[in-house]
């Protein structure tokens, strides 16, 4: 315990001594773990300032200018002394505040370190990386079907902000970064593109499933962004919101492509030609919302033979049967027929050996 007794008696308190003592105590406190600082201040004595001229106006006494000048000079000296004391005291107070701030920061750092080391005593921190990885998979949002956006309020981005250890584990799990929602934002595209690229790099060769929202010339920017990862893309869901989009930039040269979903396609006549160019690896095709007739279906060859899952809207029932014949390996079909069943239509018996699921409207 360090103690300083600061005594201000009349107008002769030695402020400089107090400052030196305070600095010494700060030094001792920093190196010797002093737990408290006690400042005992005696009460300041107010001097008697009464003079024969204190009552104003004073008509009973004659005023001597020499006496008045002497009094004023004395008061000026007293005022200067008090101002000097106040200045010294403010220096002391500032020093105390600074010392207090340092001690608060020291306390906070000690508390932070203590809490960090306490966490290491928790069983959660002793979990093997493999177990923690499985927990992280279960943290992924469940309210979205497939794709995640780089939001700091949701996993996997949220997991990287908990602590350094969790960040290292999360960044080291490629499967957490294999699904991504991408949309061009012209206002800050450079920043958004950097964020998307950082996300995709963490996939480390893992198969990628992407949703792309395209408007105007967005396809150029998106193709440039995903080009380094083109061999990883196995699934694409593309929303087209303009007839100015260049779909060929997004639908060609995809060697590992397996799943395609198209929505809001503006240039319908070009759909069959792009689908017909899909690689033989394509297994799932969903073009619901676009109406297809028999001619359109026939133009998809040879893609049909490889498909195992289809979602499509057609005009007539006979096109539905034709579709089954075109797809010998089809196991799952979701189809909406625009026109009601025609009772005059003659249906020939047809057997499909692979179909397991049909949703028919």
Give the global pTM. Answer: 0.62
**What domains appear along the chain, each with residue ranges and CATH number?**
2-46+74-119 (no CATH), 177-360 (3.80.10)
Q: How many helices (H) and strands (E) does the chain have?
A: 9, 10
Neighbour count for residue 177 (Cβ, 10 Å): 22
Q: How far apart are CA 18 and CA 9, in angstroms?
A: 13
Q: Tens of pLDDT along the chain (361 residues)?
A: 343 344 434 433 454 555 555 556 555 554 443 343 344 345 667 777 777 766 655 555 566 777 788 888 888 888 888 888 888 888 888 888 998 999 999 999 999 888 877 766 677 777 888 999 999 999 888 755 556 777 778 889 999 988 888 899 999 999 999 999 888 876 788 888 899 999 999 999 999 999 988 876 778 888 889 999 999 999 999 888 776 666 777 777 888 999 999 887 665 566 777 788 888 899 999 988 888 887 878 877 788 899 999 999 988 877 888 888 889 999 999 999 877 656 666 767 788 999 999 998 8
Q: How far apart are CA 232 and CA 329, in angstroms?
A: 25
Q: How far apart are CA 202 and CA 311, in angstroms?
A: 32
Q: How far apart are CA 91 and CA 291, in angstroms?
A: 83
């Amino acid at each position: 315990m360090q103690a300083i007794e600061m005594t201000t008696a009349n107008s002769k308190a030695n402020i400089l001594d107090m400052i030196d003592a305070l600095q010494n105590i700060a030094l001792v406190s920093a190196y010797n773990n002093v737990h408290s600082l006690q400042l005992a201040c005696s009460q300041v004595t107010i001097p008697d300032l009464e003079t024969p001229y204190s009552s104003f106006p004073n008509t009973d006494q004659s005023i001597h200018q020499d006496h008045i000048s002497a009094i004023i000079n004395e008061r000026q000296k007293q005022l200067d002394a008090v101002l000097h004391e106040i200045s010294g005291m403010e220096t002391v107070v500032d020093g105390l505040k600074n010392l207090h701030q340092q001690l608060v920061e020291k306390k906070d750092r000690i508390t932070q370190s203590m809490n960090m080391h306490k966490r290491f005593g928790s069983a959660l921190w002793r979990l093997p990386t493999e177990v923690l990885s499985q927990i992280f998979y279960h943290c992924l949002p469940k309210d979205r079907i497939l794709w995640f956006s780089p939001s700091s309020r949701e996993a996997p981005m949220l997991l990287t902000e908990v602590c350094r250890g969790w960040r290292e584990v999360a960044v080291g799990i490629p499967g957490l970064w294999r699904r991504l929602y991408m949309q061009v934002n012209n206002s800050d595209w450079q920043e958004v593109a950097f964020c998307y690229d950082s996300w995709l790099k963490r996939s480390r060769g893992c198969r990628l499933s992407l949703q792309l929202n395209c408007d105007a010339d967005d396809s150029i920017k998106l193709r440039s962004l995903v080009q380094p990862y083109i061999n990883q893309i196995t699934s694409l869901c593309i929303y087209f919101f303009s007839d100015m989009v260049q779909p060929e930039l997004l639908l060609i040269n995809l060697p590992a492509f397996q799943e395609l979903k198209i929505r809001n396609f503006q240039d319908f006549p070009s759909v069959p030609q792009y689908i017909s160019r899909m690689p033989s690896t394509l297994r799932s095709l969903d073009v619901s919302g676009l109406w297809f007739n028999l001619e359109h279906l026939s133009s998809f060859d040879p893609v049909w033979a490889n498909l195992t899952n289809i979602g499509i809207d057609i005009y007539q029932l006979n096109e539905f049967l034709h579709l089954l014949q075109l797809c010998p390996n089809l196991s799952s079909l979701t189809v909406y027929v625009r026109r009601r069943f025609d009772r005059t239509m003659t249906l020939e018996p047809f057997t499909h050996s692979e179909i397991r699921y049909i949703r028919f409207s």
